[in-house]
Structure formats: structure tokens, C-alpha cells
Structure 1
Amino acid sequence: MGFGTIFFIVVTVIVLYQLWTVLGRRTGNERPPYDPYSRGGEGAAPQQPGNVVTLPSRRLPDAEPPADVYASIDKLAEPGSPLNSELRRIRDADPSFDPAQFLDGAKAAYEMIVTAFADGDRKLLRNLLSPEVYQGFEGAIEDREKRGEKMQSSFVGIDDIQFASAELKGTEAFVTLRIVSQLISAVLSPSGEVVDGDPEAVAEVRDVWTFARDTRSRDPNWKLVETESEEG
């Protein structure tokens, strides 16, 4: 086994471990990941169990917390705003919650989910999505397979990711993000002809994804519980 192979395996293990320690396992709501080439009503619906973003792992709070435990929240959400208030409530319920770390984890999870959807990787999606959301993704993948089509996708990167809203319902924390990404994607027929998309063009994709977890749960992971496409 060459060094390159060993390095790849190590990196993969690290990425999956980080995802696992940050994502949650809770159920969510609606659709499958944005498929720029899905046909009209074939879209995805809610999906199945899994996690989503590289969110902060749950750990015991420090004996002496920093003077301003909300400083990181104030940097990303205007003090006094509803978003800031809800993020503070989540921080109070889960002292390990850090908004900056959450966004970093979300970026990693987003890429993994989008790539897994294009590849038809059900096993990985089950570990990243809530049961409801998984059903939607799996349904879209099955439709492609029945038509004998394959989706080619290349993840270019994330241009922007921001908190859209947050809410603490009882012990359940919900965080919604607006994500702007760049993708190259195309659907090919059984004969290899391009059915949808463009294998050479970079497309901007705007998504609104919601993650959730029970702040009282020993499971530190967050789950993708709802997906929605947003017109640019």
C-alpha cells in the first residue's frame, strides 16, 4: 500500500470522525438536496437518518467560562436581533455550541451530502440525514436509476454561508443556514448523452438547510432535517 493510499485513508477517517462528532441524529422535515437537473415533480422529499454539518462536539463546560460567553455569537448575529437571542438560548442549553465551529462543520457536511447524492451513495446519506429527509434523497436517486441515468457532479466550493434563523423548542435546537455554492453538474442518459445540465458549466446553487439536535441528548451530532432551494 503506497503512501498516497495511506494518506487518503487517514484524511477520510478524520473527515468522517469530525462529521460524526458534530452532526446530530434527529428527524427533520422536507426535501432532498438540490438537484439542478431533476424533472418537475420528481424532486426529492424529506430524507432519512443522518447527520449534516460539522458542528461543534458536545463537551463539559469549562469550570471558569470566558468573561463573555456570547462574544462569538455577537460576531455573527447582530446583538439584540431575534437570531442573536435564539443562538444565545441554544448556547445556554448547550455550552459547547460555538457558531463559528458550527458553520465550519456545515460546510464540510454540505459538500459530503451534495457529493453523496450525485453518486447515489445511500449508505453515506443515511448517516448524514434525518429519516424524513433521507426518504426524499433516496427517492430522487431511485428515479434516476430507473431511467438508467447517471449524474456527474463536481463540487467547486461554497461562496457564502450564513445563519438565517435559529430556534430552541424545548430542548430541541434548530439552526437554519443560507448556503451559496458553485457546482458543475449534468445528468447523462444510458447512452452517455447529456439529458440535463452542462458538464462544462459552473452553476450557482442557493440552498436553505436546517439542522437540529436535542441539547439534552448524549449524542453530540446534529442532523439535516430540512432542505429547500432558494431563488437567487
Structure 2
Amino acid sequence: RLYRVLGRRVGMQGVRQERPGAGFGPGAQKGAAPDAARPSVPPPLPGQVAGKPGAAPGVFDQAVPDVAYEIPAPATRVGTVLGEIGSVFPGFSPDGFLKEAEGTFRQVVPAFAVGDRTALEKLLTPASMDSFSAAIDARVQACETQRSDLRGIESLSILDAMLVSAEDGTRVGRIEVKIVSRQVNILTDREGEPVVGTEAVTEFHDLWLFERVAGQSDARWRLAASRPA
């Protein structure tokens, strides 16, 4: 059940796959629940390193490399939609959006791992929150524990963008992002024995769908659905 919430691992450490272009794969619909998940436990929060106040255990004191942001050109179909989204949501920019999406990824992964529903509620849509909460409940009932270490985020790429109208006429923006990260994830049972995962650093490819409703006081782009890339 837990394997169906955040994504799946793609290969082992050492080999990075070529990133695809900005073509759009099958996108999740509004309110769709995450249909792919992997075990995950608190990776370091942004800016935390071992040996410093507030640092997460097991986080190495080293420079964090820049994350590559890939944005479709303005002349492309997706680039045109991003421009339309900017006209509906004042202050929107693709770069700023990807920075926010990166921050959400860094918060959602550890929050899900420790079962922090309060933190997740601020980052997810209501329907997505229901799915994540159900997965947390299943893990607790099984007496399973997740240990995770987010070693780095390689890239975030905007694959698709949509601007639709809800039944009440409200404009809704949706942006699909591919996130490539390197993690160590291990799920253990009540006896402390590993159930899923490995100590090796593994490259994960995830597709996250972010959503924002025009006219709401909350200016955050929330995670609406996720699946493996």
C-alpha cells in the first residue's frame, strides 16, 4: 500500500538516465489520488546538514548542488499555457513555480515518512490528503517504520500545463512536473527487519501534478496527484 503513494525507484546509483523532452504523458485529473508510492522517511529539510543545530540525523555536511530547472520555451504549446496561467495568477513565473515545487517536494517526503498530517494538509489538495492519510494509517496498522535519506534533487522539469474552468466558473491552473531525485529508502517491519528498500542510493523519477485555484487567498500550488515517471 505504501509503495503506491510517492513513486518508485528507477535503477541503482551510478547511472543517470537521459531526461525526456517536454512532451506530456498521461496526466492526473483534478482531485486524483496518488497512484504510486514508495517508502520514505525523513530526508533532510532544506538547509539542514549534519553537525549543525537542527540538523537531521545522517545528513552529510556538504555543499548542495544546484537543481536543474527545465522549462518549455514560450513558443511551445506548454509555454503558451504557462503564459496564460501568468495572466490568471499575478506574480506567477515558471522559475518561481519550480522553486516552490522543489520546496514542496522537500517537505512532503519527510512529512509523509513521519506521518505529519498537519504539515501535509498545508501542501496537498483535500483529495490528495485523503489518499496520503490512508497510506499512513495502513503503515501504522502494519507496525512498519520508514527510514529515508534524500541525498539530492537532480532536476525538475515542467512537462505539461493546463488552465481549466470548474463547474462554478472558477479558473484552475494545473502544472505537471517531473522530479528526479536520489534517495536511500528502507521500510522495516515491527521486528526491525527490512521489507522494502536498500542501503544503496537509488534514482527516483516522479511525476507530480500541482494545482492552484484562482481567487483563493491561499497562493500556494498544492500537490494534487503523483505517480512514477
Q: Tell me which stretches of 4 or more aligned residues in structure 1 moved more than 6 Å.
A: none
Answer yes or no: is 1:144 the counterpart of 2:128.
Answer: no
What is the letter of the counterpart of residue 225 of structure 1?
A
Answer yes or no: is 1:105 the counterpart of 2:100.
Answer: yes
Structure 2 CA distance for aligned equivalents of residues 161 and 190 of structure 1 = 35
Alignment of 1:1-232 (within 5 A): 28-31=31-34, 34-36=37-39, 76-170=71-165, 171-198=171-198, 200-230=199-229
Contact conserved, 1:32 with 1:133, CA < 8 A, in 2? no
Bigger helix share: 1
SS of aligned partner of 1:201: strand
Task: State the number of aligned residues.
Answer: 166
SS of aligned partner of 1:31: coil
Bigger strand share: 2
Shift of 1:215: 2.2
Shift of 1:90: 0.4
Contact conserved, 1:33 with 1:137, CA < 8 A, in 2? no
Give 1:40's aligned residue: none
Shift of 1:216: 2.4
What is the letter of the counterpart of residue 33 of structure 2?
E
Contact conserved, 2:74 with 2:83, CA < 8 A, in 1? no
What is the letter of the counterpart of residue 38 of structure 2?
D
Cα distance change of structure 1 residues 135 and 32 upon mapping to structure 2, 3 Å threshold: farther
What is the letter of the counterpart of residue 96 of structure 1?
G
What is the letter of the counterpart of residue 30 of structure 1?
A
Structure 2 CA distance for aligned equivalents of residues 165 and 179 of structure 1 = 13
Identity %: 30
Question: Pairwise CA RMSD of aligned residues?
Answer: 1.8
What is the letter of the counterpart of residue 162 of structure 2?
E
Which ranges of structure 1 fall in alignment gaps of 5 or more residues? 1-26, 38-74
Shift of 1:33: 6.5
Contact conserved, 2:39 with 2:113, CA < 8 A, in 1? no
Structure 2 CA distance for aligned equivalents of residues 81 and 220 of structure 1 = 26
Shift of 1:105: 1.0
Shift of 1:164: 0.7
Q: TM-score, normalised by structure 2?
A: 0.68
Shift of 1:34: 2.7
SS of aligned partner of 1:90: helix
Residue deviations 1:107-150 (CA, integer Å, cap 9, x gap): 11101101111111122112211111112111111111111110
Structure 1 CA distance for aligned equivalents of residues 142 and 218 of structure 2 = 39
Give 1:20's aligned residue: none
Cα distance change of structure 1 residues 76 and 196 upon mapping to structure 2, 3 Å threshold: closer
SS of aligned partner of 2:159: strand
Structure 1 CA distance for aligned equivalents of residues 195 and 218 of structure 2 = 42
What is the letter of the counterpart of residue 122 of structure 1?
R
Give the structure with higher Rg (CA). 1
Contact conserved, 1:208 with 1:227, CA < 8 A, in 2? yes
Contact conserved, 1:183 with 1:205, CA < 8 A, in 2? yes
Structure 1 CA distance for aligned equivalents of residues 217 and 114 of structure 2 = 32
Cα distance change of structure 1 residues 125 and 218 upon mapping to structure 2, 3 Å threshold: closer
Contact conserved, 1:32 with 1:134, CA < 8 A, in 2? no
